[in-house]
Structure 1
Amino acid sequence: MKGSNTEVVREKLEQATHLMKKHHVDTWLIMTREGSDPALPLLVGVRSVHQAAIFLRNSGKHLVLTSKSDAGSYEATGLFEHVHIYEAAIEEKFLSIWKGLTIQKLALNISEHDHLCDGFTFGLYTWLLNTVGKDALQQVETSSEQMLSELRSVKTSTEIETIKNAVHATTDIFETVHKKMKPYMTELEIGNLFVAEMKERGVSSGLGGAYDPPLVCAVRHGLAHRKPSDRKVEPGDLVIVDFSLKYDDYVSDIARTIYFVRAGETEAPQEIEHAFRTAHRAITASIEALKVGKKGYEVDEVGRKVIEEAGYPTIRHSVGHQIGRATHDGGTILGPKRVPARPAVEGTIRAGEVYAIEPTVIQDDGLPCMLVEENVLVTPDGPVILSKRQEELWLVKE
């Protein structure tokens, strides 16, 4: 795993260098302490304990200023042309490097819209302002948001293969656990079946703690983003399982819906089957619309229309979102267009992005709900489904 992570960082730094040239940025400055910037694992792969300044250069000759105790971690990466060390105070050496670089345009990880692009803390920005001077900084600074958003969104070949491994492990666990589900198990007991399978495969949860169970909701007990409860699942219940798995620092996000049949039933009631078929059609339509150049809201409109035209309430969330190092990985979101405009849904879909597609049937008062979620890679030739699709409503019999 360690080797693949090193390869990912090298690939992402190559991407960063290309993006800096594209946006006419000569220097990208990342300031960190105690791993404060979420871009660090993606771009550097080192978590500084003490304050550090990482200077990415569009020439590819990157450098870092770090404490003596953290220097070895940066040197071990082999990614930096120079690893500069400060002993007590960082300011003097920082200014020396700053003046020597003759910076014309400086990108900082500051964003009003995307928390994953907003890693430059106010405290460190104040430090930078005081160290180099307000006028000197304001003449060159710009936000890295466009670059960093694309960097997170457009996956490299190694990232795509790792996500595929996460998806494969997820669908394999789903199929294994489905065979072990029984009526009168509690939601938590079902969730713990997933935890046991994760431990056996050496993977972990993509949300929360390493071995937190997935979302397991019997619709009768209320559909929400909540932890599985100790309430029992009985015949006649619809159960939704939303499962994000982490494999080598990359995640999947897949959901399945299961019907626990009553005595004498051989299949789900018609109203439940109709809800499943509607969600399935909405997913298919959304995937078919997921093409390079489309806007996020354009894909949302397609999936949302299928749900609404079948007579169900409109979806309460977006039709889809990106996955990668996080279950909600920033960048373009497949959500509804609103006023004022949301930058994320106005974003353009690019090749190399991976989306979780989840147009959902959501109803209140215990009426049938249906969440089926698939993971899809965008390619120049069209969308490629990475997950093994749920083509039929899963059943559990006594």
Structure 2
Amino acid sequence: MKGSNAKVVREKLEQATQLMKKHEIDTWLVLTREGSDPALPLLVGVRSVHQAAIFIRESGKHIVLTSKSDAGSYESTNLFDEVRVYESSMEKAFTELWNELSVEKLALNISEQDHLCDGLTYGLYSWLKDNVGEQILHEREISSEEMLGELRSIKTEAEIATVAEAVRITVEIFESVHSKLKPFMTEIEIGNLFVEEMKERGVSSGLGDAYDPPLVCAVRHGLAHRKPSDRLVEPGDIVIIDFSMKYEDYVSDIARTFYFLKDGEQEAPATVNHAFETAYKAITESIEALLVDKKGYEVDAVGRKVIEEAGYPTIRHSVGHQIGRATHDGGTTLGPRRVPVRLAVEGSLKAGEIYAIEPTVIQDKGLPCMLVEENVLVTEEGPVLLSKRQDTLWLVKR
């Protein structure tokens, strides 16, 4: 493991031990096989092929029990005080190690709410119960959800720098593509421009496969989470492009809206400009509300109010969500309160979290829609914009 990735993992493992001290947990156990736990890259930066048991310790003296073939991957991280290898029977080696460690409070990656915190499979949990004993496990186990959620959400210095670079490259790609757009391209052709830009820079898509195109929607053809179509983009069309890009395992999530000018037009029609101005104002006020200790639903209400007061239908999704190793990175969400209660929107914002802000004007029947999405870091001193804002509707001339 080299470079910024190694620095990120070291910072995250140190952050994990501090969270364990805060929650008075002596051992955090990650059981995995074939990379089954989504927390594994975040915590140790290794994908096990065979079954492994990773013991993260409050003391900072971490131990992994792994197969002989996987041992080298763990040793190369220099994160572990001991890399213990099992040969034919992991069960025997695990029991010996468990008894040596005298575990009193055991955190496991189990969650009913957050899939990113629910990495312990039922099969591996059953294996653990068989090897530790059901009663002992019941007395000592605790969900790691609160710790893991905070670990994912609160970015370290190296993580923030990596996300910021992903955002910078994404903005650069958008600007390059803007210069190449012209009427009568298909949505697919526009999407392929982004693929070419990613390949040129050695980066990949943040959603789906490595070279999947972004969401490209001519509003006239319907606004939805769909793949680009072979339908033409014509003069008079509003085109929304929502692009998540991955750089060194961290992602951006930025959207831009374009208007394709008709013959004789120097600017978009008033109804289109009004939709943009409304979305822009909603984004501005939502960003200003990104303050430490604000509740997720409180920030959502700010952006949602702007959209509704301008006479548009309410937003069909949340005003914002966290980004990091995933485009939708779990933790606190900037969404509306509903029944039953959604824990994600009841969460409080913390310094070090990064949000994609996207209060959207959405209308049916081809009426003007507007999606502009910016990426923002929460700090103790206030919000810090990571992306270069789209201040005006981007025009495409014939």
- TM-score after normalising by structure 1: 0.99
Matched residue, 1:163: 163
Matched residue, 1:260: 260
Matched residue, 1:225: 225
Could you give the per-residue CA deviations for residues 348-373 of structure 1, whole angstroms, max 9, x where no partner exists?
A: 10000000000000000000000000
Matched residue, 1:295: 295
Deviates more, 1:273-282 or 1:1-10: 1-10
Matched residue, 2:50: 50
Matched residue, 2:393: 393
Matched residue, 2:349: 349
CA apart distance, 1:102: 1.0
CA apart distance, 1:89: 1.4
3-state SS of the aligned residue for 1:344?
helix
Matched residue, 1:83: 83
CA apart distance, 1:99: 1.1
CA apart distance, 1:340: 1.5
CA apart distance, 1:347: 0.6
State the one-letter code of the partner of 1:230: D
Structural mapping, 1:313-392, within 5 Å: 313-392=313-392
Matched residue, 2:281: 281
3-state SS of the aligned residue for 2:348?
coil
CA distance, structure 1, for counterparts of residue 203 and residue 32 of structure 2:
28
CA distance, structure 1, for counterparts of residue 392 and residue 337 of structure 2:
31
3-state SS of the aligned residue for 2:278?
helix
CA apart distance, 1:76: 1.0
Matched residue, 1:201: 201
Matched residue, 2:142: 142
CA apart distance, 1:40: 0.5
Matched residue, 1:18: 18
3-state SS of the aligned residue for 1:290?
coil
3-state SS of the aligned residue for 2:378?
strand
CA distance, structure 2, for counterparts of residue 88 and residue 3 of structure 1:
35
User: 4+ residue runs of structure 1 moved beyond 2 angstroms?
Assistant: none
Could you give the per-residue CA deviations for residues 246-304 of structure 1, whole angstroms, max 9, x where no partner exists?
A: 01110000000000011111100000000000000000010000000001000000000
3-state SS of the aligned residue for 2:345?
coil
User: RMSD of aligned C-alpha atoms?
Assistant: 0.7
CA distance, structure 2, for counterparts of residue 212 and residue 102 of structure 1:
48
CA apart distance, 1:333: 0.3
Could you give the per-residue CA deviations for residues 80-114 of structure 1, whole angstroms, max 9, x where no partner exists?
A: 01111110111111011111111111000000011
Matched, 1:173 2:158: no
3-state SS of the aligned residue for 1:239?
strand
CA distance, structure 2, for counterparts of residue 20 and residue 388 of structure 1:
37
CA apart distance, 1:339: 1.5
State the one-letter code of the partner of 1:90: M
CA distance, structure 1, for counterparts of residue 230 and residue 244 of structure 2:
21
3-state SS of the aligned residue for 1:130?
helix
Which structure 1 residue ranges, 5 or more long, are not aligned?
Answer: none
CA apart distance, 1:19: 0.1
Could you give the per-residue CA deviations for residues 223-252 of structure 1, whole angstroms, max 9, x where no partner exists?
A: 000000110000000000000010111000
State the one-letter code of the partner of 2:190: I
3-state SS of the aligned residue for 2:346?
coil
The percent of aligned pairs where both chains have the same amino acid is: 75
Matched residue, 2:307: 307
CA distance, structure 1, for counterparts of residue 226 and residue 244 of structure 2:
14
State the one-letter code of the partner of 2:228: P
Matched residue, 2:98: 98
CA distance, structure 1, for counterparts of residue 325 and residue 56 of structure 2:
21
Could you give the per-residue CA deviations for residues 29-54 of structure 1, whole angstroms, max 9, x where no partner exists?
A: 00000000000101011111110000
CA distance, structure 1, for counterparts of residue 172 and residue 44 of structure 2:
32
CA apart distance, 1:2: 3.5
3-state SS of the aligned residue for 2:170?
helix
CA apart distance, 1:214: 0.4
CA distance, structure 1, for counterparts of residue 180 and residue 76 of structure 2:
46
CA apart distance, 1:192: 0.5
Matched residue, 1:243: 243
3-state SS of the aligned residue for 1:77?
coil
CA apart distance, 1:392: 0.3
CA apart distance, 1:323: 0.3
Could you give the per-residue CA deviations for residues 45-89 of structure 1, whole angstroms, max 9, x where no partner exists?
A: 111111000000000000010011111111111110111111011
Matched residue, 1:184: 184
